[in-house]
Structure 1
């Protein structure tokens, strides 16, 4: 993984699925499209409105290339993993290690996928998101391509639901997706109830011995916006890559809980572990430090994967456990 790991998130998938008589083709609709109702057609295609347009894709595709870990997690979770034939293997999280097998073609990195190999392989569908979204136009020339990027702005969970509902339509797994999302909703409600009386929280990320803080509109902001953890009153610059934070800032923020992502561990880089970085008197003087309320989140889930069905459920579990 590169140090610039996440490209700026685009708009959340508006996705609702509409059947069309058109054959598989490239993206056509503009960013303002709201999508139309769904129904099947004799050609076996489905129209998906996503972060970068509307694309006709084959229903239940047999040969899929995946360039986003969240989408890979979702496709696996809903029981459609057999359709995956190629993927970007760099940075593959531990819980998706089955895709390291030789039978899955390696497309390189999410930032720079092997376009030549994809053109030769001729997949039925290419799925991008987040880090690979910038390559959408190039990939859409090779095969039908959908962008599963979910924005951290606005209602994050609604965006996640739309992304996964669309994937369920594509793979014929609507019932499975509906059940998984209902289970996540139940966990979210229970976590919000715990958060209501748990005090304030501050989200941190360590990387190369340095610390960044993240607010409600950041990539990790669902801790506040969806799960109900009250942010501290400390001033913060909202930025995709976080705001540089000193230990004095953390002490002044006076958080009741700290939620910490170790970026180096997440991407396999050597560096000082987050626990070592935060092992100092100023952090220990906060209510979070003094009360042993520091939760070290799984970086592969929070930093690398994000929006997958099973992954999202595990993320909610981690926050609930920290409360």
Structure 2
């Protein structure tokens, strides 16, 4: 009897050990499968990134002229063998887009100009100052050895000197004549170069709802005028200007088309605004954008402007200067512009 009980106990122990062995083997196989899946996913991501290169990148515009018309600049396609790892960015709009997409590797920023509030983190010591928007620090840029330099119109005069540092200089600025499409082209450049196409698509989807909303709101007004304030003086903008997207894309109706096309707008007196008498008057504060002391409300709300429909109906919209004048052309800033108008005109 005792022998039978001993045999039973031994049999149970053998079965338990066999089960444990099977479980350990199964867990090992499961762990191996999980690790293999993770490795495959990582490999697939690396292959996806690598497969995009060599990559030829076209500028957002083929050429541009200096503000005074005395010089013209031509921008060329740039072919990259591998994804750039050390990035220098002058254009705040493009910096905005890189930031929104989570691109890593930014080492140099134009910190000596007024960074927009939402890009203040790039004023930190971990980012090298490459000068301001109009005057690059060429020696400092050369010292950090960038793989790519992204520029826009304000740096065009230094194009050849920047190319001596690296041939990989890409123009990513917007065009006055086709602002919205060149903005979208710059987003496409960032997405393709840094394997962020899915992130860009997700972010651009936010614009669909915002644009529908602002177009509906714009339909409530018969006329509007976009102006820019600078130290007591005004300039106006029509559809063929750097702020023409306010009409073409947002859907506001211009109070006049008879405004000379210019990057800084046509000179515009207060009397001219009263004559046109727009229902909505947008005012961009350039003085604040460039670090000056702004008296925009005191200067704007004078006895002449107080006679306009815009003033009487509380429809003078003061737009954030740094956002509109310096940092447009980025995913975050372009969405913020729409949201600012919605907030102002809904109130």
TM over 0.5: yes
Moved over 3 A (4+): 39-45
Match of 1:310 in 2: 332
Q: 1:114 and 2:137 equivalent? A: yes
Q: Secondary structure at the match of 2:224?
A: strand
How far did residue 98 of structure 1 move?
Answer: 0.5
Distance of 2:153 and 2:105 partners within structure 1: 21
8 Å contact kept, 1:63–1:124: yes
Paired position in structure 2 for 1:3: none
d(CA) in 2 for partners of 1:58, 1:316: 38
Q: Given that residues 91 and 150 in structure 2 are in contact (C-alpha distance below 8 angstroms), is that contact kept between their aligned partners in structure 1?
A: yes
Give the distance between the partners of 2:160 and 2:208, measured in 1 at CA.
34
Q: Which residue of 2 aligns with 1:20?
A: none
Equivalent residue number for residue 31 of structure 1: none
Q: Give the Å deviation of 1:215.
A: 1.2
Kindly tell me the number of residue pairs found equivalent between the two proteins.
282
Larger Rg: 2
Q: Are the equivalent residues in 2 in contact too, given 1:45–1:58 (CA < 8 A)?
A: yes
Change (3 A) 1:173 1:58: farther
Structure 2 residues without counterparts, runs of 5 or longer: 1-47, 62-74
**Matches of 1:53 and 1:189 in 2, distance apart?**
36
Aligned to 1:95: 118
Q: List runs of 5+ in structure 1 lacking aligned partners.
A: 1-38
Distance 1:123 1:233 in 2: 46
Judged with a 3 Å threshold, the aligned counterparts in structure 2 of structure 1 residues 58 and 270 are, in CA distance, closer, same or farther, namely farther
Larger relative contact order (C-alpha < 8 A, sep ≥ 6)? 1
Match of 2:177 among 153, 156, 169: 153
RMSD between aligned residues: 1.8
**Normalization by structure 2: what TM-score?**
0.77
Structure 1 residue 316: Cα displacement: 1.2
Name the residue aligned to 2:57. Answer: 48
Q: Find the residue that maps to 1:186 and give its secondary structure.
A: helix
- Aligned-partner Cα distance in 1 for 2:227–2:82: 41
- 1:219 matches 2:242: yes
